[in-house]
Amino acid sequence: MLLKFIEHEGITGVRAAVTRVGINLNVYVFLVDGLLIDTGPSRLKHSLIPFFAERPIRQIVLTHHHEDHTGQAAWLKQSLGITPYIHESGIALCQNRPHLPLYRRLFWGSREPFQPQPLPPLVETERFSFEVIHTPGHADDHVALLNREHGWLFSGDLFVMSHPKSMFAFESAPELIRSLRKVLACDFSTLICSHAGILFDGKKLLRAKLNYLEEISGQVTALYQQGLSIKQIQHRLFPGLHPMHVFSRFENSPYHLVHSIVRELDRT
Ligand SMILES: [Zn+2]
C-alpha cells in the first residue's frame, strides 16, 4: 500500500486508499506540530506504522471512535506511550473491541481496545492552539478542531461530501444540520477532511452541505406530512441504488437519511 503525502502550512496529510469489490475509499491522518489527528485503520498498519515511528508525535486527538480513525490507537499508546484524547462520550466505546458489520471489517479491519482520555476544551501544541467543537451527527462523540489564527478546521467526518444521498443507520441528518450551523458560525477557510483531504474554500463547501441537507429535510417533512411512509419518501427522493448500499447490507442507505429526519419529526 503506497501512502501519498500532502503538505500545507506545516500540516502533513497522509492518504491511504482501500479498494474492495470495486469501491475505493480514501482515508487521511494529519500531523501538525507534533499533534496527530486520527490514527487510520488497522488494515493499513504496515504502511502507517513506519510513518508514525519516524515522526515526532507528542499528542493524539481522535475526531471520533470509528475504526478507520482509531485503528492504530492501541499500537500508538503501547509503542509511543501516548494516551489519545477523544470526546468523553466516546471513551467507553474504545474500551472494548467493536462488533463491526462484515463490510467495515473488510474495508478497515477491526480495532484493538484501548483506554483514551477525555478531550479538554482546548488542545495546545508548541505553536498552535485548537478549540474543540462537539459536532455530533455522524457519530455522537464527533468533534472538529478549530485553529482561528490560520483558519483551519479539522473536520473529521463532518464533511466527506457536500451532497450525500444516503446515510449510515447510526447517523442523524438533523444533528448534522445543527453541527454544521455551529461550525459555520466560526471563522475558518481551510477544511481538513478525513476522507476528502485538504480543501480550500471550506466554508463554501460546508455551507453547500448545510443548504442541501436543509432542502432535503424540508422535502422529507412535506412528504411525511402528506402521509407518505419512509419507504415511499425514499423512493420518491432517492430512486437510485449504489453498490455501497448493497455491500453494506443497507447499513448505508437513503432510508436512514429519511428515517433520521422523520424520527425527529415524530419526537416534536
Ligand atoms: Zn466515521
The 3-class secondary structure across 27-68, one letter per residue, is: EEEEEECCEEECCCCHHHHHHHHHHHHCCCCCEEECCCCCHH
The interaxial angle of helices 173-184 and 202-225, nearest 10 deg, is 150
Euclidean distance between CA atoms 191 and 135, whole angstroms: 14
Distance from residue 19's CA to the centre of ligand 1 (Å): 17
Share of residues in the chain with pLDDT > 70 (%): 98
Distance from residue 172's CA to the centre of ligand 1 (Å): 13
The backbone torsions φ and ψ at residue 97, rounded to the nearest 5 degrees and listed phi first, read: -70, 130
Distance from residue 40's CA to the centre of ligand 1 (Å): 11
Task: Output b/e per residue, 112-146; b: 16+ Cβ within 10 A.
Answer: bebebeebeeebeeeebebebbbbbbbbbbbbbbb
Does the pLDDT value for residue 53 go beyond 90? yes
Domains and CATH numbers, the chain: 4-220 (3.60.15.10)
Distance from residue 189's CA to the centre of ligand 1 (Å): 22
pTM tops 0.85, yes or no: yes
Does the pLDDT value for residue 3 go beyond 80? yes
Distance from residue 8's CA to the centre of ligand 1 (Å): 23
pLDDT in tens, 88-124: 999 999 999 888 878 788 778 889 999 999 999 999 9
- Which pLDDT does position 34 carry in this prediction? 98
Q: Which residues make Cβ contacts (< 8 Å) with residue 218, sequence separation at least 6?
A: none
Distance from residue 109's CA to the centre of ligand 1 (Å): 14
pLDDT in tens, 165-223: 999 999 999 999 999 999 999 999 999 999 999 999 999 999 999 999 999 999 999 99
Euclidean distance between CA atoms 188 and 149, whole angstroms: 9
Euclidean distance between CA atoms 73 and 78, whole angstroms: 9
Distance from residue 99's CA to the centre of ligand 1 (Å): 15
Distance from residue 68's CA to the centre of ligand 1 (Å): 7
Ion ligand 1, residues whose Cβ is below 5 A away: 66, 157
| Mean pLDDT score across all residues of the chain | 93
- Which pLDDT does position 116 carry in this prediction? 98
pLDDT in tens, 10-39: 999 999 888 877 778 899 999 999 999 999
Q: Which residues are 184's β-sheet partners?
A: none
- Which pLDDT does position 1 carry in this prediction? 63
Does the pLDDT value for residue 78 go beyond 90? yes
Q: Which residues are 133's β-sheet partners?
A: 144
